[in-house]
Structure 1
Amino acid sequence: MTDLHRRGLLALGLATGAAAGAAAEASAAETRARQLNPGPTLTPAVTEGPYYLAGAPARGDIREGLPGLAVELRFHVFDETGAPLPLARVDVWHCDAQGRYSGFGDAPGREPPAALKAARFLRGVQPVDDGGVATFRTVYPGWYEGRTTHIHYKVWLDGRTLLTSQVFLPDALNEFLYLQAADYRRERARDTLNRNDGIARQGGEATFAAVAQGDDRFRVDFDVVVDRQARPRAEGGSPGGPPPGLSVDGLPPDFPGEGPGGGPGRRPSLTGEARVAALLPKAST
C-alpha cells in the first residue's frame, strides 16, 4: 500500500467519522427539539352522548331547509405531527334551532313522533380535502335542558374512529342569538351555559371554535388534532362513554334532574349579574 493510499484512507476515515459525528449531533439536536416542542396538542375527546346515529348521509349541506341562522362549519384536521390529514372523514350531528335531534324525541328515552324519528336533518359526513378541511353548510345549533350549545363530531380514518368530541361556541353570542333571533326564541331561559356545562369544562379551551360573522352566514372554524394510531376506548372513557364522574349529558350523577330515562332535567337558570358574569370571560387578576 502506497503512502498516498494510506493518506487517502486516513482522510476518508476522518471524513466518515466527522460525518457520522455530525449526523449523531444533528439527531441529538432533533431529539432535544422534539422534547422541547413535542408537536401539537391532541384535541380532547369527550362523550359521544345519546343522540348519535350511524350511517349519516355523505353530504356537505345538512340543513334540509330547516329554519335558523346559516353557518359554514369548517373542520381543519391535522395529525399528531401537525400535518393535514386529507384521508380522514368528519361525521357531524347537532340539534336544530329548538333543541331537537333528528331520529330522537325531545329527551333521551322519550319516543319521538314518526316524522322526527325517520328524519336525518343536521347529520352528515364529509371527506377532508388536500388542505385538511372538511366543510358543512348548517344552521346555528339551538339548546336543550341540561346542556350548553354544542356540535358533536367524529373523525374517521380507514374505518376507525380516531376521535369523538364536541365543539363549543362563544356563550355571549349564544345568548344574544337566542334572545334576538326569532327561530331560537323560547318561553324559558337557557338553563346551562358554557361555564356550568360539565362536558364543556372537561374539554377546555381546545374544544371551542372561532366564529366570524359574514354578510349571509356565520363562519365557524375549528382545529382538530388527532392521533393516527388512536383506538376507541372502552365504555366509561372517551370517546366510547362519558367522562369519569359525569352522566352522558355532562352532569354529576347526583344532579337533581327531571328528564326521563336519567337524562338531564331543568336546572335553575342563572339570572342578573350572576348570569352576565357566567357569560363573559373572567376578569384578569
Structure 2
Amino acid sequence: MSDIVISEFMDADAVEGLSKDFDLLYDPELVDRPDDLRAAVAGARALIVRNRTRVTGEVLAAAPNLVCVGRLGVGLDNIDLEACTSRGVAVLPATGANDQAVAEYVIAAALLLLRGAYHAGADMLSGAWPRQALMGREVAGKTLGLVGCGGIARQVAVRARALGMAVAAVDPFVAEADPAWQEITRHETLESLLPAVDVLSLHVPLTEDTRGLVGAAALRRMRPGAVVVNTSRGGVVDEAALAASLKSGHLGGAALDVFEEEPLGAEAASVFAGLSNLILTPHIAGVTVEANVRVSALTARQVRAALEETA
C-alpha cells in the first residue's frame, strides 16, 4: 500500500523528493481509471490531484487512512469539501503558485482578441493581403473588468495597468477598506460593472451562486465589441449564450480555457463551430513549465508537513 497516491501529472523533481521518504504511487493516468484510483487509495494517507480527479465521498470512503488531499492548483470544485471536513481530511491548494501564469494568459488573450490580426496566416499563405480587415484595437485606454478580486485577479490588474488600461472589479468578499481598491475601481454589482468594461476577465470559483453567472442577460449588458476571458471555471459562463453573442457580432471575441465539460467533447464543442473570434485552450492557463515547478513544490511541501505532523 502506498502512503501517497498522485493521480495526475506533477513535476518530476517534486515526485522524486517525496519518493525518498514515502512509499509513493505516481500514475498520471489514474485519473481516467476510477476503479483503480479507489483501489490505489485504500491504504494511502495522502492523495495529490489536479482538477480532473473527482475526490468524491466514494473515493474518500475507499481511503480510511487519508490525512490530506494535495491540490496541484487552486480550484476546489472537484473535491467534496464537506465530506473532507467531516472526515477530518485537510485540503491543501497551491494558493499563489500559478498566479503569474494565469495573469499572463489573461493579458495575452486580451491583446490577441482586441488586435485580431494574429490568425491571418492561412490568408497570407493563400496570397491574400487583408490589411484593412485586420485593423484591430489597442489595449491602452481600454477598461479591464475583473469578476473576483483575489490573488490572480490582482496580478492581472498590475499587468493591465502597465499597458495603460484602467481596471475595475466586483467582489463582495473583498472589504471596502482593502488596499486593492486604491488602484482598482470598485463596483457593488456585476450589473454595474458589465457596461463599463472593454475586457471582462473571470476569477471566481464555481458555486451554486456563480454557475451561469455570465449568461445571455449579462452578455447583453456588455459594450458592443467587448471581449470575455474565462480562466476560472467552466459553468461560470453560459457557453451557448456566449457562442450566440459572438455569432451575432455583439461580443468582439472570447477566450475560454475552462469548460462545463472537461475534456471538451465533440458534441459540447459543436456550439462553437464556425467562430473565428474565439480562442479555446485545454485548461492550461495556470500550467507553464515554471508554474508547474512552483505548484508541485508547494504541494509536496504541504503534503509532507501534513504527513509528518500526523506520523
Classify the TM-score, shorter chain: under 0.3
Which of the two has greater helix per residue?
A: 2
Which of the two has greater strand per residue?
A: 1
- What TM-score, normalized by structure 1, do the two folds share? 0.25
Q: Which has the larger radius of gyration?
A: 1
Q: More relative contact order in 1 or in 2 (CA 8 Å, sep 6+)?
A: 1
